[in-house]
Structure 1
Amino acid sequence: METSINISNGKAPLSTSSKAVQQPTRGVKKGIAIGDFIIRLCAMAATMGAAITVGLADQSLPFFTQFLRFQARYKDIPSLVFFMVANAIVTGYLVLSLPFSVICIIRPLAAAPRLLLVIFDAAMAGLTIAAGSASASIIYLAHNGHPNTNWLPFCQQFGDFCQAVSGAVVGSLIAGTLLLFLLILSAFALKRS
């Protein structure tokens, strides 16, 4: 470690080599960037799984005859349509954000890509949590009904459909939590040391 004393202006500041100060910060930020990339992949898998599960959720039950059937599909419930579209949008965003995350790994001290990710991660976290919350309320009504308004529990007849959609909602809320964790990681990475 080198130290030098500057006495030209009458002051004696102590300075250290810039390499010794920069390296620990760079290493920590690179570790945060690698964690960001891994969490981003996990969130992408969760939102993709949620969108695909809801898109494929379909159940038919016979009613008196084989030709007359009751059918449960995500298209019949507007909040599930919003849920599927929102999770598909977030999945697309996460795929498009992977190159920026790689840039943050390669250049851990670059603030511009990290700031861009923070802004869009916040928007996508809000979208994911909003879609998951709206669908969770509908699924709660489907499981329990509402006796004051004479809404019967829907899931007693369409158990497979409700199982699939409930799992997708849990996956989406996990993805929203991961996106919030990404925001915390990015805040630490943007912090000046």
Structure 2
Amino acid sequence: MSTKIDVPESSNADTREKAPLLPAPRQAGWRRGMAIMDFILRLGAVAAALGAAAAMGASDQTLPFFTQFFRFEASYDDFTTFRFFVIAMASVAGYLVLSLPFSVVTIVRPQAVGARLLLIILDIVFLTLAVSSGAAAAAIVYLAHNGNPETNWLAVCGQFTDFCQATSGAVVSSFVAVLLLDFLIIMSAFTFSKKH
């Protein structure tokens, strides 16, 4: 007497599963670490963008000329480019503050694809705004330092040293914010490109 056991055949598609690149706990830990780094970079970018807007907004300087009733004044709002810079960098800082809760969501739920995708799209939009305003302000700061002899624009930084230092510092701070936003986008794209 032979004993026979019937085992139903299962399809190869059901039994074969793709092995994850990393074990699930390690993969979640890696994603959580990247999300924490995202949060820290966002805080740094907030500080840089807010510092750029504040430094440019406080860049007024007045020079007395013979009498106290007749003065020369340099202010950021004398230049449309600098006004655009202040508004743009304040908007970038505001966006980065509002993006912090979404960054916290990616820390708590590392597999949250929607929040990560929203952040990467908005980061690109506000990076473009920060680059355009920083580059435009850098061109005006360059003219203030060096002038342009072909168009008879004189360098004013010899007289308005405080104004030029403040505007130069604001432009440098804006490019720090741009660099941090670049890192955020690259890191988010790298994390997003990994298999979920």
TM-score, normalization: structure 2?
0.90
Specify every segment of 5 or more residues in structure 2 that has no aligned partner in the other structure, as ranges: 1-6
Q: Hey, what does 1:54 align to over in structure 2? A: 56
CA distance in 2 between counterparts of 1:10 and 1:68 reads 92
Q: 2:159 corresponds to which residue?
A: 157
Q: 1:153 to 1:104 in 2, by over 3 A?
A: same
Quote how far apart the aligned CAs of 1:27 are.
Answer: 1.1
Q: CA deviation at 1:14?
A: 5.9
Q: Distance in 2 between matches of 1:105 and 1:187?
A: 16
CA distance in structure 1 between the partners assigned to 2:132 and 2:18 by the alignment: 50
- What is the DSSP-based 3-state SS (H/G/I as helix, E as strand, rest coil) of the residue aligned with 1:108? coil
In structure 1, the partner of 2:33 is: 31
Do residues 9 (structure 1) and 10 (structure 2) align?
yes
Distance 1:148-1:16 versus aligned 2 partners, 3 A rule: closer
- The normalised TM-score by structure 1 is 0.91
Q: Return 123-132 or 7-16, whichever deviates more.
A: 7-16
The match for 1:144 is 146
- Tell me, in whole angstroms, the C-alpha distance in 2 between the residues paired with 1:79 and 1:107: 41
Task: Mark the CA change 1:168 to 1:10 in structure 2 (over 3 Å): closer, same or farther.
Answer: closer
Match of 1:109, SS?
coil
Aligned mates of 2:47, 2:119 — CA distance in 1: 18
Post-superposition offset of 1:9 = 3.0
How many angstroms apart in 1 are the aligned matches of 2:8 and 2:182? Answer: 50
**Count of aligned pairs between the two proteins:** 187
Shift of 1:65: 1.1
CA-atom RMSD in angstroms: 2.0
Residues 48-78 of structure 1 show CA distances to partners (whole Å, capped at 9, x for unaligned) of 0111111111100011211100000001011
The one-letter amino acid paired with 2:55 is T
Q: Counterpart in 2 of 1:65?
A: 67
Letter in 2 for 1:69: R
Counterpart of 1:162, as a letter, is: C
Larger radius of gyration: 2
Distance 2:152 2:16 in 1: 78
Distance in 2 separating the partners of 1:140 and 1:181: 27
Q: Tell me the distance in 2 between the aligned counterparts of 1:159 and 1:29.
A: 47
1:146–1:10 CA distance, 2 compared to 1 (3 A): closer
More strand by share: 1
State the 1:25 CA deviation. 1.6
Secondary structure of 1:154's counterpart equals coil
Q: Which string of whole-angstrom CA distances, capped at 9 and with x for unpartnered residues, describes residues 96-136 of structure 1?
A: 00000000000011100000000100011110011100000
User: What is the Cα deviation at residue 177 of structure 1?
Assistant: 1.1
**Fraction of identical pairs, as percent:** 51
